[in-house]
């Protein structure tokens, strides 16, 4: 493979690694993303673990992009189970993150 093709392939993988492929469901648009201190008055409904790819081929994906996708997946799940907020319970590890789904009556 010549240098130009190799450079193009590396650039394409890097761009794909930064792309987000997770869509927010319309019913999840009102699900809030809270910090732990903001969730003190909320009822915990359940936990959910979201997972996305942490690499595209051999290139690590952007932590910011993964974080957005993981949060979107958690918001979608919260809407499905009747929650109106989520709070991250863990850091992102190998493309996984755990969230607490909450019912915050005072925010409805």
Of the two residues 86 and 5, the one the predictor is more confident about is 86
Q: What is the pLDDT of residue 13?
A: 45
Confidence of residue 9 (pLDDT cuts 50, 70, 90): very low
Please give the tally of structural domains in the chain.
1
Q: Which domain holds residue 49?
A: 3-107
Q: What CATH number corresponds to the domain at position 79?
A: 3.30.110.70
Q: What is the pLDDT of residue 4?
A: 60
Ordered DSSP codes for 21-80 = -PPPPGGGTT-EEE-GGGGTTSEEEEEEEEE--SEETTEEPPHHHHHHHHHHHHHHHHHH
For residue 2, what are the contacts with CB-CB under 8 A and spacing of at least 6? none
Q: How confident is the model over 58-89, as pLDDT tens digits?
A: 889 999 999 999 999 999 999 999 999 999 99
């Amino acid at each position: 493979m010549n240098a130009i093709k190799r450079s193009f392939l590396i650039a394409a993988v890097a761009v794909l690694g930064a792309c987000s492929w997770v869509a927010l469901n319309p019913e999840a648009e009102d699900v809030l993303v809270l910090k732990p201190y903001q969730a003190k008055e909320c009822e915990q409904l359940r936990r959910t673990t979201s997972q996305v790819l942490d690499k595209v081929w051999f290139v690590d994906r952007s932590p910011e992009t993964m974080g957005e996708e993981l949060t979107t997946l958690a918001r979608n799940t919260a809407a499905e189970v009747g929650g109106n907020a989520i709070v991250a319970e863990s850091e992102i590890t190998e493309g996984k993150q755990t969230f607490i789904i909450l019912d915050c009556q005072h925010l409805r």
